[in-house]
Amino acid sequence: MPAIRSLRLRLTLWYVLLLAIILAAFSAGIYLTLRHNLYDGLNESVRNRASLLLDVVQYESGRPTLAGAVSSSDPNEGESFARVFDASGRVTFDSSTSAEEVAVDRSAVQSALSGETRSRDVSGSDETFRVRTLPIQRNGQISGVLEVGMSRGDVADTLRILLVILAVAYPLTLGVASFGGAFLAGRALSPIDRLTGLARRISAEDLSQRLDLKLPDDEVGRLARTFDEMIARLDTAFRRQREFTADASHELRTPLTAIKGQVEVALGKPRDAGSYREVLQVVNEEVDRMIRLVGSLLTLARADAGQIPIASEAVNLPDLVAAAAEQARPVMERRDVELRLEPGPAVTLGADEDLLLQLLLNLLDNAGKYTPSGGRVTVGWAAEDGQAQVWVRDTGVGIAPEHLPHIFDRFYRADKARSRAAGGAGLGLSICRWIAEAHGGSISAESRPGEGTAFVVKLPLSARAAAS
């Protein structure tokens, strides 16, 4: 069977099927209960009539009869009859008419004569009768047999009418319910159709559109809102991607333009070896800058794709900070910036040593770059509440409050000219933040313009902690 592609149709079909089963069970229940009760009632009537007639049995020359008690013009004629047999089984009274033609059942009469009461259904010419055959007692002796029959016609008629009613009402109810069900399902699902239509119109190129359906806070309303939120996230992600590509291209073009300019000037006329050397030096610096930039871009791209495995090794924090300081020291000394290492507690944490070293070197590199000569950079660490903290403080130029919230964004530079001159592309702190967060930690900055900046990295000790 081909799958039904309309949810509305499927819902309606399920609903109608369920209703059909419930209605069928309900109708069968009503019919069977009524049938049972009506036949019970008929049995009761036959029994009552029999005991009534037993009371009025008379004897003519010692043989029981009902001749004086039951008139031949019985209003129930055709619907009930009574017969009396004497002790030898001969009929002494019979109110059944030729129309009833209920044959005498000899074996029932014989059973009654031996004291046994029998009830059974007997078919007449055009009716079925409930017949009860029972002994007549006189002074403790069985003197004859009484047979009482009542037509089942009324009961059968009532049941037939009920069947007709049910047979008409059943399909009618189902029909009305199908229309009702289809209408309700249509009403409930129509917002989904609208949603589909609108969603189809929103393409990757135009993620600024929103469904913005004014729906109540029900299942469909929540779906529409969730969809809008997803589009908003996609929009942000796509925009960031576009900006990232544009910024990266721009950053790569700048050193290429510088190289091109230098080379063209050098090729303009013959020069001495010293001039070529100078040009090659500049080219070399620009190529270094590009290598750094491409390296950073690659790191971030692989980090985004989750392709950089984060090792969890036991890292001795004091050793790591000391190693980073030693690597950063020569550059700072050349720029006459003092590097001070604050002593701290012994701390071991589970982390990726290479990535943490890169993080610290980035922070120290920045501190060195943005601190004028004569300034000071302090690096230290502590451990408390299951967290390790590492800080890098400087007495440098600081960061203006309006820039501070953005310095961890990609390609963001608070002071473009100064940063570029210092060889930065605005990616260092983005990488620092990724490293801290990849370890389940965080990085934050505080700064006073003109006085200095402090970066604090917080890393959990236990989350990734190896045996220390």
Between 173 and 444, CB nearer to ligand ADP: 444
Minimum Å gap between C-beta 383 and ligand ADP is 24
Q: Which residue is nearest to ligand ADP (CB)?
A: 424
| Largest CA-CA distance found in the chain, in angstroms, rounded | 167
Minimum Å gap between C-beta 375 and ligand ADP is 10
Between 106 and 302, CB nearer to ligand ADP: 302
Minimum Å gap between C-beta 428 and ligand ADP is 3
Minimum Å gap between C-beta 419 and ligand ADP is 4
Q: Are residues 375 and 394 in contact, defined by beta-carbon separation less than 8 angstroms?
A: yes
Q: Are residues 78 and 100 in contact, defined by beta-carbon separation less than 8 angstroms?
A: yes
Q: Which residues are CB-contacts of 204 (< 8 A; sequence separation ≥ 6)?
A: 238
Between 39 and 412, CB nearer to ligand ADP: 412
Distance CA(419)–CA(293), nearest Å, equals 13
Between 286 and 394, CB nearer to ligand ADP: 394
Q: Are residues 366 and 377 in contact, defined by beta-carbon separation less than 8 angstroms?
A: no
> Which chain residues interact with ligand ADP by CB under 6 A?
366-367, 370, 394, 396-399, 407, 412-415, 419, 424-430, 453
Between 130 and 433, CB nearer to ligand ADP: 433
Minimum Å gap between C-beta 424 and ligand ADP is 2
Q: Are residues 413 and 433 in contact, defined by beta-carbon separation less than 8 angstroms?
A: no
Look up residue 126 and give its DSSP letter.
S
Q: Which residues pair with 458 in a beta bridge?
A: 389, 442
Per-position b or e across 235-244, b if 16+ CB within 10 A of its CB: beeeeeeeeb
Distance CA(145)–CA(114), nearest Å, equals 10
Q: Which residues are CB-contacts of 403 (< 8 A; sequence separation ≥ 6)?
A: 412, 414
Using CA atoms in the order 41, 46, 52, 58, what is the torsion angle rounded to 10 degrees? 180
Between 222 and 340, CB nearer to ligand ADP: 340
Between 151 and 430, CB nearer to ligand ADP: 430
C-beta neighbour count of 12 within 10 angstroms: 21
Minimum Å gap between C-beta 203 and ligand ADP is 34
Minimum Å gap between C-beta 340 and ligand ADP is 15
Minimum Å gap between C-beta 370 and ligand ADP is 3
Distance CA(75)–CA(79), nearest Å, equals 9
Between 293 and 383, CB nearer to ligand ADP: 293
